[in-house]
Amino acid sequence: MQPFVPLVRNPHLLTILGNFWPRTIDEVRFPPHRRIVETEPGVSILVISQMPEGPPRAHLILVHGLEGSSDAGYKRSMAQHALESGIGVHRFNMRSCGGTEELALTNYHAGQTSDLLFFIRSLRSESDAPIFLTGFSLGGNVVLKLAGELDDAGPELVAGVCAVSTPHDLGACVELLRRPANFIYEWRFLSRLKERIRKRAAQAPDQYSARELHTVHTVYDFDDRYTARLFGFGTAANYYATQSSKNFLDRIRVPALLVQAQDDPLIPFAVYDHPAFLSNRRLRLIAPEHGGHLVAKETRRFGHGPVSARRGSPGRR
């Protein structure tokens, strides 16, 4: 394939441009259906499903990133392309996302795969068409981790997975986020995470407290004081160590495509120098030199020519 050539090469500009670039989906041609799915007692999630004109050739479940939702621009544009290709699309909201705090008192985390697995099984009971998963950023960690958890049972449920701009080493990515050059990204994530806790504290004061928010200055602080404690991981370090999908790459038994720009400001490309890319033939890495975060996939909108492909260890040419 020919190299992906974006309009500009500054990764920060590309990342910000990708976030604000207008993306539309034809809801007249492909009417959305809101599905409230109870994944366990007291926990429901929202999925926006849309079907193509005619029987779907396959189903595509889209999983958003940190503090995202089914309305994220990257989901909308990907859904439009898939629907036009005859594929049914399901824009999955992780627990409490997309304005669904009332559907579950617990939040989501980077390794929470149970809700997604429940929905996949529900969809499989409704249709024999192949099911594919695509995760963006933190959502990529979720789909890769789930594929690895399924191990040899994976092909029974999922035909393949795709992970775009994925922090599969959570600790390394949070460390990179703390650099001064990434201040704007960390501030944005942190402000939304803090607001989520404030809303939860008002909703369920016996379960959540906003008292420590004034001590939270980084995403690491937030995960150490809130995420790790709320989900029983103890510390942020243990949360990252146990929930990173890098631990599951060698167990993936379905075709897995990973798209990662080498200049992504939020993900150190060195984390892709992982032995699983040499030992697991089901993994394929596409790594354009430029693209920023969540931009390299937008070949039809931001550049000309397809993305360049590389197999095996990203450290080898």
Specify the residue for token string 């969540």: 294
- Specify which residues 91 forms β-bridges with: 48, 62
Same domain, 100 and 70: yes
Share of residues in the chain with pLDDT > 70 (%): 86
Residue 277 maps to a domain? yes
pLDDT, position 59: 98
CATH number of the domain that residue 20 is part of: 3.40.50.1820
> For residue 177, is it within any domain?
yes
Angle between the N-to-C axes of helices 73-84 and 11-20, in degrees from 0 to 180, rounded to the nearest 10? 70
Q: What's the pLDDT at 193?
A: 97
User: What is the residue range of 209's domain?
Assistant: 171-243
How high is the pLDDT of residue 23? 73
The domain boundary, picked from 195, 228, 243, lies at: 243
In a domain, 316, yes or no: no
How many domains does the chain divide into? 2
pLDDT of 24 reads 82
Output the CA–CA distances (angstroms, integers) from residue 154 to 54, 119, 151, 284, in the order listed.
Answer: 27, 14, 6, 17
What is the predicted pLDDT for the residue at 79?
97
The conformation of residue 29, written as its DSSP 8-state character, comes to T
Q: Would you say 15 and 294 are in contact if contact means Cβ atoms under 8 Å apart?
A: yes
Residue 277 and residue 233 in one domain:
no
Cβ proximity of 67 and 193 under 8 Å = yes
In a domain, residue 51? The reply is yes
Give the closest residue to 248 by CA, choosing from 154, 134, 118. 154
Residues 131 and 213 in one domain: no
Asked whether residue 253 is domain-assigned, the answer is yes
Residue 23 domain flag: yes
Amino acid at 306: P
What are the tens digits of pLDDT across the range 65-84? 999 999 998 999 999 999 99
Whether 65 and 190 share a structural domain: no
Residues 201 and 238 in one domain: yes
* Shared-domain flag, residues 288 and 207: no
Same domain, 11 and 42: yes
Last residue of a domain, one of 197, 224, 243: 243
User: In this predicted structure, what is the pLDDT of residue 294?
Assistant: 79
Strand residues in the chain grouped as ranges (E): 5-6, 33-40, 43-50, 58-63, 87-92, 131-136, 160-164, 256-259, 283-286, 303-304
- Residues 103, 163, single domain; the answer is yes
DSSP 72-102: -HHHHHHHHHHHHTTEEEEEEPPTT-SS-GG
Do 92 and 125 belong together in one domain? Answer: yes
10-residue mean pLDDT profile of the chain (317 residues): values are: 61 63 85 98 97 97 96 92 98 97 96 98 97 98 98 98 97 96 94 97 96 97 98 98 98 98 95 96 94 62 33 36
Given a contact cutoff of 8 angstroms between Cβ atoms, the answer to whether 184 and 283 are in contact is no
* pLDDT for 295: 72
Q: Are residues 183 and 285 in the same domain?
A: no
Rounded distance between C-alpha atoms, residue 25 and residue 11, angstroms? 26
What CA dihedral angle connects 221, 266, 10 and 305, to 10 degrees?
Answer: -160
The residue out of 243, 259, 293 marking a domain boundary is 243
Q: Are residues 212 and 283 in the same domain?
A: no
Q: What are the tokens at 193?
A: 């995470």
Specify whether 239 is located in the same domain as 199: yes
Whether residue 47 is contained in a domain is answered as yes
238 in a structural domain: yes
